[in-house]
Amino acid sequence: MACEAKLGLTLMSWSILATVLLVLQATVLAVFPRLLLFLVESPTDQLTPLESFLALHFALSLFAIAFALLLNVRLLLFFTFPVSPLTRSLPQSHPFRPLSTPLRISPFFTL
């Protein structure tokens, strides 16, 4: 039981750390896309439409993955600690996939 709690705490801490890093990177890409020009030392002073499109959509994907990791933390809190009657009654044929819903919804934010 102590090993499961330690594993749950480790997974939660890694999930939260990864979420913070992904949100930081997504914020930089969404707010400062011209930073890409500085990083690659481009002679032009403007992003092409494709580059700005890709920066925005990559930032949205990073936000979606960060949100999915937060859902993963909730899932870890729910399943790694002592088993309650509620967790025993969950159907095992349809496992919870925390990454699928945010990644399906995130493309609609750019319409």
CA–CA gap between residue 46 and residue 23 (Å, rounded): 25
pLDDT recorded at residue 46: 84
- pLDDT beyond 80 at 90: no
Tell me whether residue 20 is in a domain: yes
Average pLDDT value for residue range 59-70 = 87
Structural domain including 71 reads 2-82+91-106
Q: How many distinct structural domains can be found in the chain?
A: 1
pLDDT recorded at residue 24: 94
Least confident of 5-19, 60-74, 80-94: 80-94
Tell me whether residue 78 is in a domain: yes
Which of residues 3 and 46 earns the better pLDDT score? 46
Of 96, 94, 106, the closest CA to residue 76 belongs to 96
Q: Sorting pLDDT into bands at 50, 70 and 90, what band is 6?
A: confident
